[in-house]
Amino acid sequence: MRDAVGNINSVLVLGGASEIATETVKLLASRRCRRVVLAVRDTAKVADLLDEHRALGMEATAVTFDAADTHSHQKVIDGVFADGDIDVVISAFGVLGNQDLFDDDPAAAADAAVVNFAGQVSALTAVAAAMKRQGHGDIVVLSSVAGERVRKDNAVYGATKAGLDGYAQGLGDRLAGTGVRVMIVRPGFVHTRMTEGLDPAPLSTTPDKVAADIVSGLDKGAAVVWSPAPLRYLFTVLRHLPRPVWRIVSNR
């Protein structure tokens, strides 16, 4: 559980190699978080990252987690919670993909949808049940402004984020009064390995800045965090543009 002054003691990261999640864990470590579990497809690939977390004074371990294997999620997550309470779960996994390739490969498009949406629904449902049993916790869901109004250039990715965002909102409502909260994070374009080579959008940001917004949101008990904050007002307008206008604007 959180300590006497409200500091987070333990965190589970689904998609443990996420750059945003990594920066968030570093910030939490600076505030006396002492346990982190990285759930990843290949634990060997995060050996150096585990060492980095340990150098910050954390007990850092990794477990095997395949986002596409939805039937395994409950067992993996229940196993982590069996080793001790988890204060915060950061759900940070997902694939961006290439829309042009998806147009020519429906199976690849479906695979991305399984990871980004079905995998998230499965994992978050298991996390919610585990947190309800322990009676407390925060679930941080990394959504995206891409789901606020889906662009033609990332139709599959944007649609999965729209679905994830909607599910996270509903899950938060279902958990009201249980001691478990859901916080949805809607970053804009983030400079990461996943977006390397892409043209940055206006109000682009970096993993460390998104991490700072996440920790601030947790402190405030926020339900939704926009990163950076002005995106909230921008998308209030973009969400309601007539479709012909949106097609022109989103093509720039």
- Tokens for 192, please give them: 């990461």
- The one catalytic residue in 157, 167, 189, 226 is 157
Determine contact, residues 108/101, Cβ cutoff 8 Å.
yes
Question: How far apart, in whole angstroms, are the C-alpha atoms of residue 20 and residue 23?
Answer: 5
Cα–Cα distance list, 132 to 53, 126, 238 (Å)? 28, 10, 37
Question: How far apart, in whole angstroms, are the C-alpha atoms of residue 119 and residue 167?
Answer: 12
Determine contact, residues 191/171, Cβ cutoff 8 Å.
no
Active site residue 233: no
Would you state the torsion angle of the CA atoms of residues 35, 53, 66, 187, taken in this order, to the nearest 10 degrees?
Answer: 100
Length of the chain: 252
Q: Give the residue numbers marked as catalytic.
A: 157
